[in-house]
Amino acid sequence: MNMLWVAPVMPDYDSARATFSWRRERSRLAGLPGGGVNIGYEAVDRHLRDGHGDRPALRCIARDGSLRTVSYARLAEDSSRVAHVLETLGVGRGERVFTLLGRRYELYATVLGTLRAGRVVCPLFTAFGPEPVALRMELGNARAVVTTRELYERKVAPVRSRLPHLRHVLLIDPGDDPPSDTLSFPALTAAASDTYTVGQTDPADLALLHFTSGTTGTPKGAMHVHEAVLAHHVTAAYALDLHEGDVFWCTADPGWVTGMSYGIIAPLTHGVTTVVDEGDFAPGRWYDILADQHVTVWYTAPTALRMLMRAAPRDGSLPAERHDLSSLRFVASVGEPLNPEAVHWGREALGLPVHDTWWQTETGAIMIANFAADPVRPGSMGRPMPGVEAAVLACGEDGRVAVVGGHVRVVGEPDVQGELALRAGWPSMFRGYLHEPQRYESCFADGWYLTGDLVSRDADGWFWFVGRADDVIKSAGHLIGPFEVESALMEHPAVAEAGVIGRPDPLAGAIVKAFVLLRPEYPPSAELRRDLIAFARRRLGPAVAPREVGFVDTLPHTRSGKVMRRLLRARELGLPEGDVSTLEAPEPAGTAGAPGPSGK
């Protein structure tokens, strides 16, 4: 070992914030030779320019376990081919190319080729049925889609007549006798040139269209521009501790914004090696990947962590004892509040605390995080990124921000709940909701972007998640955040996961009801139910603790791994379920391959 090697030291939080400016950070980007910024150029071309084309960009693990390593030079060639194919087909600059692909190499080549060519990428979850696929392609005016033959036949062909603007369907595995009106991705790309010069791209040109997770209602199409790459790059350094030489694994589904910002773009801009796992979630496989690939930085989601916790072997042995996790240096989580229990579990089981990060499809990149240089505060989202101004805004009776005469009130006192707001203007901020200008407008007040999440901030400036404005329970004069109740229940040894809602009650307004998924070794019983309620009352007090506990075999999750409390509530009250296009397909509890966390 080279004794002179010194671990990279992250600047401490206060000095990083004090000296930070987005304008200065721009020098971290390569920029296009003729001026302008292009995400694809930052992810691919710059490494060739710097003579690093032979570095490993991707390590793809196929379902059969076979490995394929792809260099930055190869990625440049294959994405160049895609860029030429799009041009030859007549897909115009700014037009949308949809992907309906799992995590596989062709996805990377397509996304990067599309971005380098100045066309707009819109990724879809492969688990969508034909209706959600049709709805999003219709809304997004899909010009082309890249997918597999099987997914095409099951999900696109049945709705194709409703998509007159969809001119090109490219199948990555057309096989013999391909369906009519489809094109062969391998044939077209093989015939195309493997060099492509990225054209002039304005930092404000549209690059990505992302539909939100649909946790609170119908998914919205958030539009992002090329200069977002600055935020992807910078946040990966500060919040994910990404450095040259790292092996990075982001487990998010490529149909979700995390799978794009941190599954594809950010690590490539840093020139690190990204693990691309085509397989499904299974605890043993995941630990094998961490160990065998020598993953150094791991970005995952609370559901995934809860499922790993739930799958702990009965003999009490820890993953770090059974697998060599010595390469792992940094673990972070996103998508849902991270229960303190999961942070503690990380310390014990992985030998590292889990760092929570908070952001949204709309913010495009991490906004609030437990930083590498700071000790983790279990249960806290962390502190705002350098360059990000976050505040708690005072809310009215209805739980939404009170806007008086165009102004809002920033809560100065610590530990007071209000809506989380961000000062508009960071580079990856969304530039609109597709076809919904008014909805976009209504997200802003007095120069702040309103996130729809309720939080509080402690005296040291750390933010604590309370709940989504829609999920907060008003019970007998108390405002109760489901997260707090769920986290308390998770501390009980029998509880693997919990979802908490308010059930209308004539006296209290609402009472707290918890739906609990038990660990496999604890059978449901009336006694356990009483014990859970008593346990929660001791921790939370009677006003906040659940009055009712129901045992469930599964909790409804979105494809991006979030508990869909609105669905629990609708089912409990016998109401219509609303838009469930992003609902994860339920699987029986206890199956090895259980529901896809964070997207599989």
Please report, as ranges, the residues that interact with Mg ion according to CB under 5 A.
Answer: 212
- Rounded distance between C-alpha atoms, residue 126 and residue 467, angstroms: 29
Residue 213's nearest CA partner among 252, 243, 182 is: 252
Regarding 356 and contact with ligand ATP (CB under 6 A), the answer is yes
Per the CB < 8 A criterion, the answer to whether 106 and 71 are in contact is: no
Tokens 């075999």 found at: 553
CB of 600 to ligand ATP, least distance (A): 16
Closer to ligand ATP by CB, 106 or 453: give it: 453
Please give the size of the binding site for ligand ATP, defined by CB under 6 A: 25
Torsions phi, psi of 5, nearest 5?
-65, 130
From the list ligand ATP, Mg ion, none, partner contacted by residue 214 (C-beta under 5 to 8 A by kind): ligand ATP
CB of 379 to ligand ATP, least distance (A): 10
List the structure tokens of 203. 């930092």
Closer to Mg ion by CB, 169 or 420: give it: 420
Per the CB < 8 A criterion, the answer to whether 342 and 308 are in contact is: no
**3-state DSSP assignment of residue 24:** helix
Output the residue with the shortest Cβ distance to Mg ion: 212
Say if strands 354-358 and 297-300 run parallel, antiparallel, or are unpaired. Answer: unpaired
Regarding 581 and contact with ligand ATP (CB under 6 A), the answer is no
Binding to ligand ATP (CB under 6 A) within 468-497 occurs at 468
Regarding 381 and contact with ligand ATP (CB under 6 A), the answer is yes
**3-state DSSP assignment of residue 205:** coil
Regarding 465 and contact with ligand ATP (CB under 6 A), the answer is yes
- Residue 324: CB partners within 8 Å, gap ≥ 6? 291
**477: left (phi > 0), else alpha (psi -120 to 50), else beta?**
left
Write the DSSP assignment of 109-162 as a string of letters.
Answer: HHHHHHHHTTPEEEE--TT--HHHHHHHHHHTTEEEEEE-HHHIIIIIGGGGGG
Regarding 361 and contact with ligand ATP (CB under 6 A), the answer is yes
Stretch that binds ligand ATP, among 24-32, 155-163, 215-223, 489-497 (CB under 6 A): 215-223
Torsions phi, psi of 288, nearest 5?
-60, -40
Stretch that binds ligand ATP, among 2-10, 212-220, 246-254, 399-407 (CB under 6 A): 212-220
CB of 213 to Mg ion, least distance (A): 7
CB of 212 to Mg ion, least distance (A): 5
Regarding 299 and contact with ligand ATP (CB under 6 A), the answer is no
Question: Mask: binding to ligand ATP, 121-160, rule CB under 6 A, as x and -?
Answer: ----------------------------------------
Question: Mask: binding to ligand ATP, 37-76, rule CB under 6 A, as x and -?
Answer: ----------------------------------------
Residue 273's nearest CA partner among 66, 570, 56 is: 56
- Rounded distance between C-alpha atoms, residue 392 and residue 415, angstroms: 10
Closer to ligand ATP by CB, 40 or 335: give it: 335
Work out which of 140, 174, 214, 364 binds ligand ATP, going by CB under 6 A.
214
Residue 410 has a CB neighbour count (10 Å cut-off) of 13
Regarding 341 and contact with ligand ATP (CB under 6 A), the answer is no
Question: Mask: binding to ligand ATP, 535-574, rule CB under 6 A, as x and -?
Answer: -------------------------x-x------------
Per the CB < 8 A criterion, the answer to whether 81 and 91 are in contact is: no
Regarding 235 and contact with ligand ATP (CB under 6 A), the answer is no
Regarding 215 and contact with ligand ATP (CB under 6 A), the answer is yes
Buried b (16+ CB within 10 A) or exposed e, 374-392: eebbbbbbbbbbbbbbbbb
Q: Which residues bind ligand ATP (CB under 6 A)?
A: 212-217, 219-220, 334-338, 356-358, 360-361, 381, 451, 453, 465, 468, 560, 562
